[in-house]
Homo-oligomer: A and B are copies of this chain.
C-alpha cells in the first residue's frame, strides 16, 4: 500500500483534477472459478488511496480479440487502464501481443527487457520460452519487477502487469510513482445498527440535501444480530463530508428514538 512518499506526491501534483482508471483482468482461470482473483480488491483500494477513481473492471479470457476489444473500449474512456495477467512465458500468455495489436504497433524483443532476463537467468538458461517475456510493444516503457525480474510495461495510458499477486503488487508500487494522481476521494463509514428498510426513506432525504456527497448504503447479514447496514459517505470536500456525516448521524438517532 502507498507510503507517505506517495501520499505527498499525490498532494503535490494532485490539484483539483479527477483522474479515472479501469482495470482489465485477463485470464481463463478467473472465469472458470479455478483461481479466485485477489487483485481487483487490492488495486481498487490502492487506487482510491492515491487519488485515482477506479470506474470499471472487466475480466476477459485469454483470447486475443477479447483483450484487444476490451483494451480499446477502455483506453479511450478512462485516463488509465491497468491490466493483470498473461505476460508469462507460456503459449497462453498473449497479453503483450494483444496490446500491440490494440495500439496498432509492432512488437519485438526489447533490448532492455532482454538484458534484465539475461542477468537473471544467465545466457545458458535464457530459453526461447523465457525470451517470450522480453517481447514488448514498440514505444512502451518498462515497469520494474523486483520479485521475478520479467518486466511489465506501459504503452500510452495502458499499464500491463503480471497476474501473480506478489508480482502485481510490486509492479503497482513501481508504476504508481509515475502515475499522475488526482484529488483524493475522502470517505466516512457509519454503521447504522439496523436494517436498510428502516432508514431508506430518511436516508434518501439526506442524500437529496447533499447531492455533492455520494452516500452508499451497504446491507449485510450477521447470523447473530440479523440485518445490518453500513453507510458510506464519499466526497472530495472535507467540510461537506463532515456536514453530511452529522446529518446521517442525526437521522439515525431520530429513527432509533421513533422506534423507542
List the number of copies, as a whole number: 2
Interface centre among A56, A61, A62, A91 (most CB of B within 10 A): A91
The complex places the Cα of A129 from the Cα of B196 at a distance, in Å, of 9
Asked if residues B31 and A54 are in contact (CB atoms below 8 Å), the reply is yes
Q: A33 to B46, Cβ gap below 8 A?
A: yes
Chain A, range 52-100, C-beta contacts under 8 Å to B: 53-63, 66, 88-93
A63–B1 CB distance below 8 A: yes
The yes or no answer to A140 lying at the interface (CB within 8 A) is no
Contacts of A56 in B (CB 8 A): 31, 58-61, 66
A44-B32, A56-B58 as given contacts; A203 in contact with B37, CB under 8 Å: no
A127 proximity list for chain B (CB < 8 A): 197-198, 200-201
In the complex with contacts A61-B55, A130-B197, A232-B34, A29-B89 CB distance below 8 A: no
Contacting residues, chain B, for A61 (C-beta < 8 A) = 1, 3, 55-56
